[in-house]
Amino acid sequence: MTAIKEHQKLDPFTLEIVKDSLVAIGEEMFHTLARTSMSPVIYEVLDYASGLTDAKGQLLTQGNGVTGFIGMLTFMVKETLKKFGNEGDLKPGDIIIINDSYGGGGSHLSDVGFVMPIFVDGELIAFAANKAHWTDVGGKDPGSFSNDATEIYQEGLQLPCVKLYDEGRLNQAIIDMIEANVRFPNLSLGDLWAQVAAIRTGDKRVRELCEKNGTQTVKAAIENYLDHGEQMARKELAKLPKGEFFAKDFVDDDGFGNGPFHVQVKVTITEDKFICDFRGSHPQVPGPVNVTYTGLVSAVRTVFLAITNPSQDVNDGVFRPLEIITDPASILSAERPAPVSVYWEAMQGGADVVMQALASHLPDRLPAGQLLSVCAVTLSGNHHVNGEPFLIVEPSAGGWGAARGQDGARGQFCIGDGETYNVPVEVAETRYGVMIDEYSLKTDGMGAGEFIGGAGVIRSYRAMTDKQMVSATFGRNKFHPWGLNGGEKGSPNEFIIEKKDGSTDGPFGMYPRYPLDKGDVVKLMTATGGGYGNPLKRPVEQVARDVKNGYMTAIQAEEKYGVKVNPTTFQVDGITGKREN
């Protein structure tokens, strides 16, 4: 290997090349984890993140499967630095495991994180970190996240920032504890090894980078990179409208019939700050819809990136202008022992009010309201062919809001997800004890507008054995996705049970452990997005096309859009008086 000497001048191109290498390391760590994971929720749904921070825990690069983790790696590293803060506490080869929501975790216990300090010649240079959703971490319900938990203790095993590896030596006791406390130990431990492999890849690559370019060069590149991120964000910030912007909305309920709970924000944009003040939002609640401050930060960061520059490299420099203020122990900044297993309800509620406050001012960056909820489903039982137990854990796709110049996307996962993939029908039917009767667009209720809200999705699981159980958490069930600049609101997330005997039950937004017997069907129906602009301005021919495509009915075309479309030929028969005006 050609080791370049330290004294070589730090030209801007070397710094750029080292920066690119850091980003490439982040990507490699990300793909290593996906390739080696044993759990569908990681390798299919990509419900994980991985990346590098500097020695102080500032995020350098993060590979993301979902937006919801943006920022959480930083908090894990900072917790590690807090707990192992004395000189010599951290050593080469250490790997720390964390899932404690209130101690660096940030989301729910299902998301298990790892942190590894990276040393070069005895000097702490950086940290590698990752965090992934395990199929199960114990607790009272299969899949661990439960929509009727009342304390975090019911939500699974808590791993409070402890060393899994001490100078490269495995602490077998932790493995044994995990094995004894989770429902599918081979899956969870498989994920553990995958995460360890991925994080070690990061360690190895950063050390190689230092060996090749010199540690000083790498450190300089890190500084330079963070400053570059800040500079890019500030440039975008300068383009935003200045002032105070307000919005208020509700989180449906907490699974115990409490609610709705109001969340509110005052967004203040100045020349160099972007402040989100959530004070006045509802105090933390008995059910598990609360989010920690860390989780809220991730949600707000997502919107901040969407507004400033969605395609830039993401590092902590970018977020330097951002400030987030909450009351203590609110639904948006919960404190122990509040349950948090379906935390995304409050988390995305927080993101959504920021979007509502700003959308009409930034129509080129923000669309109307969307399904918003992860719409998580867990379904468990025994397989109809091999008799083995199975567990489905998955989010649901739904409708996105329309925006200026753009209809809403049909059948996409919510803002908190991202590079998230649905489970193919053929894979699900092979692996699980179900048949899927339908996987189609739900067009009814697409938010009317000049640009129309996106269709939701219908997915129907038919149980193929007795004694199955389905739990679902579909927020945005009582308060619909909002329309923008004259567009109408969309329809809610909901699900019903169609029993073998012909009776139906529901609709529900949140339900823990609904029993299903062979032949019973749970029909999941996600929200349609809000519309943008006055529906009467949607071109007549486009409306006729929408009817032909079944995105709306002829009746809706006439009522909402003022266009009379022949329901068999799909020709335009005329327009209504409302439209003429």
Q: Which is nearer to another protein, 146 or 526 (CB)?
A: 526
Smallest distance from the beta carbon of 580 to another protein, in angstroms?
A: 28
Which residues are within 8 A (CB) of 466 and not within 5 positions of it... i.e. 6 or more apart? 517, 518
For 408, phi then psi, to 5°, come to: -70, 145
Edge-to-edge strand list for the sheet holding 389-394: 389-394, 376-382, 468-473, 510-516
Q: State which of positions 364-403 bind another protein (CB under 8 A).
A: 364-367, 385, 397, 400, 403
Q: Which of 265, 353, 355, 484 binds another protein (CB under 8 A)?
A: 355
Q: Which is nearer to another protein, 254 or 520 (CB)?
A: 520
H or E stretch including 129?
A: strand 123-133
Under rule CB under 8 A, residue 437 binds another protein: yes
Nearest to 127 by CA among 22, 217, 228, 33: 22
Under rule CB under 8 A, residue 133 binds another protein: no
Under rule CB under 8 A, residue 550 binds another protein: yes
Which residues are within 8 A (CB) of 132 and not within 5 positions of it... i.e. 6 or more apart? 33, 37, 42, 47, 48, 49, 111, 112, 113, 191, 194, 195
For 68, phi then psi, to 5°, come to: -60, -20
How many residues make up the chain in this entry? 581
Q: Which of 216, 258, 430, 566 binds another protein (CB under 8 A)?
A: 430
Q: Which is nearer to another protein, 173 or 427 (CB)?
A: 427
Smallest distance from the beta carbon of 193 to another protein, in angstroms?
A: 6
Under rule CB under 8 A, residue 500 binds another protein: no
Under rule CB under 8 A, residue 501 binds another protein: no
Q: Which of 174, 435, 469, 575 binds another protein (CB under 8 A)?
A: 435
Residue 469 bridge partners (DSSP): 380, 515
Q: Is the N-terminal amide bond of 185 cis, ω within 30° of 0? A: no
Under rule CB under 8 A, residue 71 binds another protein: no
DSSP 443-512: -TTPPPSSBPPPPEEEEEEEESSSSEEEEEE--SSSSPPPPBTTPPP----EEEEE-TTS-EEEEESEEE
Which residues are within 8 A (CB) of 239 and not within 5 positions of it... i.e. 6 or more apart? none
H or E stretch including 264?
A: strand 261-269
Under rule CB under 8 A, residue 314 binds another protein: yes
Q: Which stretch binds another protein (CB under 8 A): 50-58, 259-267, 337-345, 410-418?
A: 410-418
**Is there a contact between 427 and 394 (Cβ–Cβ < 8 Å)?**
no
Q: Which stretch binds another protein (CB under 8 A): 158-166, 331-339, 429-437, 553-561?
A: 429-437
DSSP 538-561: S-HHHHHHHHHTTSS-HHHHHHHH
Q: State which of positions 93-122 bind another protein (CB under 8 A).
A: none
Smallest distance from the beta carbon of 404 to another protein, in angstroms?
A: 9
Q: State which of positions 8-47 bind another protein (CB under 8 A).
A: 11-13, 16-17, 19-21, 24, 28, 31-32, 34-40, 43-44, 46
Smallest distance from the beta carbon of 13 to another protein, in angstroms?
A: 4
SS3 call for 565? strand
Under rule CB under 8 A, residue 170 binds another protein: no
Q: Which of 115, 305, 510, 563 binds another protein (CB under 8 A)?
A: 305
Q: Which of 235, 242, 273, 467 binds another protein (CB under 8 A)?
A: 235
State the burial class of residue 549 (Cβ atoms within 10 Å of its Cβ: 0-12, 13-18, 19+): exposed
Smallest distance from the beta carbon of 75 to another protein, in angstroms?
A: 19
Residue 395 bridge partners (DSSP): none
Q: Which stretch binds another protein (CB under 8 A): 126-134, 250-258, 302-310, 483-491?
A: 302-310
Which token pair is 50? 């991985």
Q: Which of 22, 60, 66, 126 binds another protein (CB under 8 A)?
A: 66
Binding mask 439-458 for another protein (x = CB under 8 A): xxx---------------x-
Q: Which is nearer to another protein, 149 or 446 (CB)?
A: 446
Under rule CB under 8 A, residue 417 binds another protein: yes
Binding mask 189-218 for another protein (x = CB under 8 A): -x--x---x---x-----------------
CA distance 175 to 112: 13
Q: Which stretch binds another protein (CB under 8 A): 258-266, 404-412, 484-492, 559-567?
A: 404-412
